[in-house]
Amino acid sequence: MTHRLDRRAVLAGGCAALLAPQVRFAHGASPATAWPSRPVKLLVGYPAGGSVDNVARVLANALSERLPQPVIVENRAGADGHLAVTAAMRSAPDAHTLLVSLKGAMTVAPAIAKQPFDPARDLVPLCAIAQTAEVFVTRPRTGITTLRGISEALKRNDGKLSIGFIGAYPRLLAELLSQQLSAPLLKVPYKGLPQAMQDLIGDQIDLLVGDATGLVVEQVRSGKLVALVVTSDRRLRDLSTVPTVAEEGMPMLTGWQWYALFGPAGLAPALAQTVADTASAALGTPEAVAQVTKFGLERMTGTSVELERLIAKEAAFWKHVAQKANITPE
């Protein structure tokens, strides 16, 4: 299923539309007609096997079919994606090193963590790739079957329950859930999904909030995990029996995780447009859409200007949410 950016621009809880800043490009980059003159790298700030890595590989394969040079994915996991972002923003403005990142790093992280960069200043949004909901899951042995059931489980466990997360957006969702339930959940950060899943199934943590895709969905279907709720504004095809947060009485948790392609702020306008158009066309092929769907994601479309507006709007919204929840950058 394909969705345009403007269909997701209205965020949960509502936020005032912002005047989108003009795209910032510097002169001096190689002409668009020269791109690419050597292999193109897509930097990913998370380990292989997660949703960011999956969408990056879909894009890399799709671009490699269209370009005269290969496109490779390079994982630089660490510091909640900061290593990859820093490398991308410091790269030459010739579009041979690009970044595949996600909503959390671009719009949520600035509201809850001090960062050595400013996504709006140091990166240029090029092309939306895909989106997914987040899902809260637990082990069957916890006896928890709904979000409200977490409070009862806390009573059974002497007030001790832990929830794992990967990245800024799931972290904020975990914090908001804890506040909504008045439940002092222990928040446990992870660098990647495989380790988090291993610890959840192995009884090291009690809950997990993560992308409603791939490995998580497979474990729910196999009965190894119990899906409590999804953050989308509608039920998902692959988890059709799982209620939404609005159905469970917590609409403030509604939202989508999305993934997009970025370049360094120095990209010339013509080159940036060439990259954006090429990536959008590559992702629109039936083969690429099928791969996105295979990973449990939904294709997103839209112009780079629409993507920039979405980023600005969500950044303002999540900053407000963090402030209202008394979360200060640290």
What confidence tens digit (pLDDT) does each residue in 100-145 have? Answer: 999 989 999 888 888 888 888 999 999 999 999 999 999 999 999 9
- Separation between Cα atoms, residue 206 and residue 177, nearest integer Å: 14
The answer to the question of residue 56 being in a domain is yes
Q: What is the dihedral of CA 7, 192, 235, 10, to 10 degrees?
A: -20
Is the CB of residue 13 less than 8 Å from the CB of residue 262? no
- Per-residue pLDDT band for 12 (boundaries 50, 70, 90) equals very low
Task: Map tokens 């997360």 to a residue.
Answer: 165
Is the CB of residue 144 less than 8 Å from the CB of residue 138? yes
Q: Are residues 127 and 271 in the same domain?
A: yes
Which residues touch 126 (CB under 8 Å, ≥6 apart)?
98, 260, 261, 262, 263, 272, 275, 276, 279, 304, 307
Q: Is residue 328's pLDDT more than 90?
A: no
Angle (CA) 297-5-164 rounded to 5° is 45
Question: Domain boundary at 207, 231, 253, which?
Answer: 253
Question: Domain boundary at 236, 253, 270, which?
Answer: 253
Q: Are residues 72 and 53 in the same domain?
A: yes
* Share above pLDDT 70 across residues of the chain, in percent, rounded to a whole number: 90
Higher per-residue pLDDT: 78 or 305: 305
Q: Which domain holds residue 201?
A: 133-253
The answer to the question of residue 58 being in a domain is yes
Q: Are residues 149 and 113 in the same domain?
A: no
Q: Are residues 284 and 311 in the same domain?
A: yes
Q: Are residues 271 and 292 in the same domain?
A: yes
Q: Are residues 109 and 148 in the same domain?
A: no
Higher per-residue pLDDT: 32 or 139: 139
Q: Are residues 82 and 219 in the same domain?
A: no
Q: Are residues 116 and 222 in the same domain?
A: no
CA distance readout (Å), 146 to 140, 239, 242, 250: 12, 15, 10, 12
Query: What total number of domains does the chain contain?
Result: 2
- Per-residue pLDDT band for 61 (boundaries 50, 70, 90) equals very high
The answer to the question of residue 329 being in a domain is no
Three-state DSSP string of 223-238: CCCEEEEECCCCCCCC
- Separation between Cα atoms, residue 206 and residue 161, nearest integer Å: 6
Q: Are residues 15 and 97 in the same domain?
A: yes
**CATH code, domain with 279:** 3.40.190.150
Is the CB of residue 196 less than 8 Å from the CB of residue 166? yes
The answer to the question of residue 60 being in a domain is yes
Higher per-residue pLDDT: 12 or 42: 42
Q: Are residues 82 and 12 in the same domain?
A: yes
Question: Domain boundary at 253, 272, 291, which?
Answer: 253
Q: pTM for the full model?
A: 0.82
Q: Is residue 59's pLDDT more than 90?
A: yes
Mean of per-residue pLDDT scores for the chain:
87
The DSSP line for 189-219 is E-SSHHHHHHHHHTTS-SEEEEESSHHHHHH
The answer to the question of residue 26 being in a domain is yes
The answer to the question of residue 330 being in a domain is no
